[in-house]
Copies of this chain bind each other. A is one copy, B any other.
Amino acid sequence: MELQNDLLIRAARGEATERTPVWLMRQAGRILPEYRAVRNKLSGFIELATTPELAAEVTLQPVDILGVDAAIIFSDILVIPEAMGLPYEMVEKKGPYFPNTIQTEDDLAKIRVADVASDLAYVTEAIKIVKKELNGRVPLIGFAGAPWTIMAYMIEGGGSKTFSKARRMLYNNPVLSDKLLQMITESTIQYLKAQIAAGANIVQIFDSWAGILSPDHYKAYSLKYISQICDAIDEVPVTVFAKGAFFARQEMRHLNCETIGLDWNMDIQNSRRLIGEQKTLQGNLDPCALYGSPLEIENNTKKMLQAFGNTRHIANLGHGVYPDTDPEKVKVFINTVKEYSAYMRSKEV
């Protein structure tokens, strides 16, 4: 199936595009009343993520309602630990909770590299439905968590301000840490390949807890494994979004990936200088900017577009859209990207 709108893929590959593509992290989610209508009929988040027809339905909503240039499969990065043998619950207003965690070699012996075909069939099934419904309108983004971020949850057992138990493991048991990271990496490579086989046109790796590691640990325990994943995926373009890893931008230029995501607090010019000209950058409007007036949103979006320039940019926020954002404000952002980025190109000498 040829894509009718392949702006995202071309921008990722560094090809010229007639305008800047735009999508939003967490676009399929609580900002849309249509999402909440589906969600409220169910027992919880996990039921939604594991029911392919419903996951597909909410994946498609922002394409129809907001007019984004890509769909991103509705799922969760924690399906990987679950498939490895560490189930989790999603506690309303609190976040994920793992009844069992990894602390010792014995704990490690109880888990396995995920058997993606059997354990994560609900995700690939959802992808197939989405692809059919999209019918080539826009690309579909697959995703997974980065191994360090997944490990952090598997050791900590849930969210944390400091993830000090997980970081303690890196100091106290580097051997166990590396074994666990390698198992997660192998599971993730299989998982992303299955998403691609099912139809994902591009994949993104989310390293949500990148920013809490020291630069040395980040290199040794996160970049090393992200790098393995990037090297293993050659079917489609790869995006790496390492939240808070400002200190690793220079090293990320060496990753075998097409696109690097930027936080909203990363200066665009500095990031371009550190990361170099060979990557597409994705981001990075402050999600809170969408609380401003339409005029302010337009102005902030234009300023961002100017700073990124006409090539190698995929417009997005610098973080997931906040749940209480007015969808009409999101549309102002999206429409400004579409119109102003086309205008910017028309003014090029």
Within 8 A of B (CB), among A158-181: 162, 164, 167-168, 170-172
Residue with the highest number of chain B CB atoms closer than 10 Å, among A168, A211, A218: A168
Taking the closest CB of chain B, its distance from the CB of A243, in whole angstroms, is: 11
Complex CA–CA separation, A288 to B161 (angstroms): 13
> Quick check: B247 and A286 within 8 Å, CB to CB?
no
Considering residues A170, A218, A265, which has the most beta carbons from chain B within 10 angstroms of its beta carbon?
A: A265
In the complex, A309 has a CB within 8 A of chain B: no
**Any chain B CB within 8 A of the CB of A212?**
yes
Segment 239-260 of A: residues with Cβ below 8 Å from B:
244, 246-247
In the complex, how many angstroms separate the beta carbon of A200 from the nearest chain B beta carbon? 28
Size of the chain A interface, CB-CB below 8 angstroms: 33
Query: Inside 8 A of A170's CB, which chain B residues have their CB?
Result: 288
Answer yes or no: A264 CB below 8 A from chain B CBs: yes
Cβ-defined contact, A292 with B213, below 8 A: no
Bitwise, A259-303 to B at CB < 8 A (1) or not (0) is 000001111001000000000000000111101100010000000
Q: A214-B265, A265-B215, A267-B215 are in contact. Are A291 and B171 (CB under 8 A)?
A: yes
A212 to B170, CA, bound (A): 26
- Are B214 and A171 neighbours in the complex by a CB distance under 8 Å? no
Report which residue of A214, A246, A270, A319 has the largest number of chain B beta carbons within 10 angstroms of its beta carbon: A214
Any B CB within 8 A of the CB of A35: no
- A122 proximal to B (CB < 8 A): no
Chain B, residue nearest A215 (CB): B267
Is A97's beta carbon under 8 Å from chain B? no
Residue of B nearest to A266 (CB): B247
* Nearest CB of B to A61, in Å: 22
- Complex Cα spacing A162 to B288, Å: 10
A45 at interface (Cβ–Cβ under 8 A)? no
CB neighbours of A162 from chain B (8 A): 287, 319, 322
The 9 closest A-B pairs by CB, nearest first: A167-B288, A168-B291, A171-B292, A214-B286, A246-B246, A171-B291, A164-B322, A214-B264, A215-B267
